[in-house]
Amino acid sequence: MLCSWCCQLGVQDEETIKTAIEVTLNKWKTINIFINTATVFTLGYVEEVSSDDWPNIMNVNVRGYLMSKHIIPIFKKQNSGSIINLASAAGLVAHASFLPYATSKGAIIQMTRNLALDLGPFNIRVNSINPGAIETPTLYRTAAETCVTKAQFDENHGGKRIKRLGHPQEIANISDRSSFTVGANVVIDGGYTIV
């Protein structure tokens, strides 16, 4: 039987993370998949990024994912597990004014590869998913905050080859059928990173 449970927590607070893992184990007795999705998004050219923006985005987007270290002993004991890190196509392709966000997502891609190398001998798979522009309320809120119209955003960030934005369900499919996928940098961006 496949069951899922979502837990919202502050990724910068190790005690909260330990508690969430403990609560999960008490409820389900095991954990098979751990998905890191915590993200903050800050736009700005380098001279506009405040001294608070940079550490905040790195603490949530990079250091927060490192907190998966608390799930690793459980996976090692089980001799199996899967960690999925949500990175971004922005970690692969340069964008004007995306410096803090893109840098953090590039770090996640490399962290994923190193974790996969370290944890592979324990039958623990670590992969990253790198979506392009996915049609969500957050996407359009960000566009509005940067004074970009929906049409402009769709044109500049939608799938360059398929001429549309992605949908959340196109990212969410996870399956045991992907058991040979290890250390992968899975790009789901409508062809955006082809060129």
Digits of tens for pLDDT over the chain (195 positions)? Answer: 667 777 777 888 889 889 989 998 999 899 999 988 888 887 778 888 888 888 999 999 998 777 789 999 999 999 999 999 999 888 888 877 888 999 999 999 999 999 999 999 999 999 888 887 777 777 767 666 665 566 666 565 555 566 677 777 776 665 555 565 556 677 766 666 655
Beta-sheet pairing, 185-188 with 81-86: unpaired
Kindly name the residue from 45, 65, 101, 140 that is annotated as catalytic: 101
In 3-state terms, what secondary structure has residue 129?
strand
Residues linked to residue 126 through DSSP beta bridges, in sequence order: 83
HEC readout, 151-175: HHHHHHHCCCCCCCCECHHHHHCCC
65 tagged catalytic: no
Give the phi and the psi of residue 177 in degrees, each rounded to 5. Answer: -65, -15
Write out the E strands in the chain: 33-36, 81-86, 124-131, 185-188
pTM of the predicted model over 0.75: yes
The structural domains of the chain, ordered by start, are 26-194 (3.40.50.720)
What is the residue whose two structure tokens read 């059928």? 177
